[in-house]
Amino acid sequence: MRDQALEWIMAGRRQRRRRWIVVTSLLAALAIALCCAMLLLGNTIYPVKEVIRALLGEQLKGVSFAVNTIRLPRMLAGLFAGFAFGIAGYTFQTMLRNPLANPNVIGITSGSSAAAVFCIVVLHASETLVSIASVIAGLVTVTIIYLLSRGKAFSIGRLILIGIGLQAMLDAVISYLLLVGAQQDIPAALRWLTGSLNGSQLRELPPLVAAVFVFAPVIIMLGKHLDLLELGEQSASSLGVATDKTRIILILSSVFMIAIATATTGPIAFVSFLAGPIARRLTGVGFSNVIPAGLVGVNLVLAADLIGQFAFEYRFPVGIITGLIGAPYLIFLLIQMNRKGEL
């Protein structure tokens, strides 16, 4: 009987592994297809052969400029920002055991946004300074939230409440800056706040690419510890997880990625909020969903950008489309949590 039970357990594990591999592969294939669509589609649809030749460096009239200067940077910004938002959101939600505990809701992106708007409308700063300020502000914001939430012991509920309160304050600061700012600076600030891939340039992408390549592997390697943190402080500690150290590494890695992604594309709404739950629903439980969540983030950003470009009479930034998708889910989640007595 014992051997039979063990066989059932192993069979269930193999089935979950196959499901994880199949879903992750499909998500990766969809991301590749969307990347190709971003390169091929535009005001002019170029043949695949011409797009490949332009990417390989051959100078083709019209094609090289459209593909290498406009479409390629836009696609790469969506790819790496979506991956960063997806992984960071999943990390916060899993580590803090609450679907509301993501960078959008607890104020981290608001900190970056407030600093960026201040630099744009008050300092009239360059794009480089805006990016640096938004990254530093994101780190400062999460440090304040973490320190205030510790008290005598770390509290998830306290962290979320403090984060929501800080977000409300920072959003008020942003509104004030937009109100008193010079009229000519408002469009640039609003474009940044909306979250957009418009105007992405290759020279702006190295910090984002470096952040993903440095910090995403750290979170992936700590994936098992992240899943154990979801069991609670005492359970994770009893299973050998250095909870404080692991949590700090995960928070810093996530914040660096999401702050640099926000500095590059603006705060693309709800991607970090949606990626984790979608990935978990698709892959199930039993294996770390860090990579699937990142791939879901990529697919959300690229698909939303394509919808914003081509599905309507007017072109909309990607952040508006993801907001239209994410806002109903947030309302549904709040109603569901309220029914369960979690609010």
DSSP assignment of 54-89: HHTT---TTHHIIIIIIIHHHHHHHHHHHHHHHHHH
DSSP 99: T
Report the pLDDT value the prediction gives residue 327, as an integer from 0 to 100.
78
Residue 70 within a domain: no
3-state secondary structure 255-301: HHHHHHHHHHHCCCCCHHHHHHHHHHHHHCCCCCCHHHHHHHHHHHH
pLDDT tens digits, 80-93: 999 999 999 999 88
Percentage of the chain with pLDDT > 70?
A: 90
Residue 296 within a domain: yes
Residues sharing a CB contact under 8 Å with residue 54, sequence separation 6 or more, in sequence order? 46, 60, 63, 64, 67, 68
Residue 105 or residue 198, greater confidence:
198
Report the pLDDT value the prediction gives residue 85, as an integer from 0 to 100.
93
Report the pLDDT value the prediction gives residue 301, as an integer from 0 to 100.
94
Number of domains in the chain: 1
Residue 250 within a domain: yes
Residue 4 within a domain: no
- Domain range for 321: 77-339
Residue 57 within a domain: no
Asked if pLDDT for residue 124 goes beyond 90, the answer is no
**Segment 170-183 mean pLDDT:** 85
Residue 11 within a domain: no
Burial of 57 (0-12, 13-18, 19+ CB in 10 A): exposed
Asked if pLDDT for residue 343 goes beyond 60, the answer is no
Report the pLDDT value the prediction gives residue 194, as an integer from 0 to 100.
80
Residue 137 or residue 101, greater confidence:
137
Report the pLDDT value the prediction gives residue 246, as an integer from 0 to 100.
84
- Residue 155 pLDDT class (50, 70, 90 cuts): low
Residue 64 within a domain: no
**Segment 216-221 mean pLDDT:** 92
pTM score, whole prediction: 0.87
Residue 100 within a domain: yes
Report the CATH number at residue 240: 1.10.3470.10
Report the pLDDT value the prediction gives residue 1, as an integer from 0 to 100.
56
Report the pLDDT value the prediction gives residue 29, as an integer from 0 to 100.
96
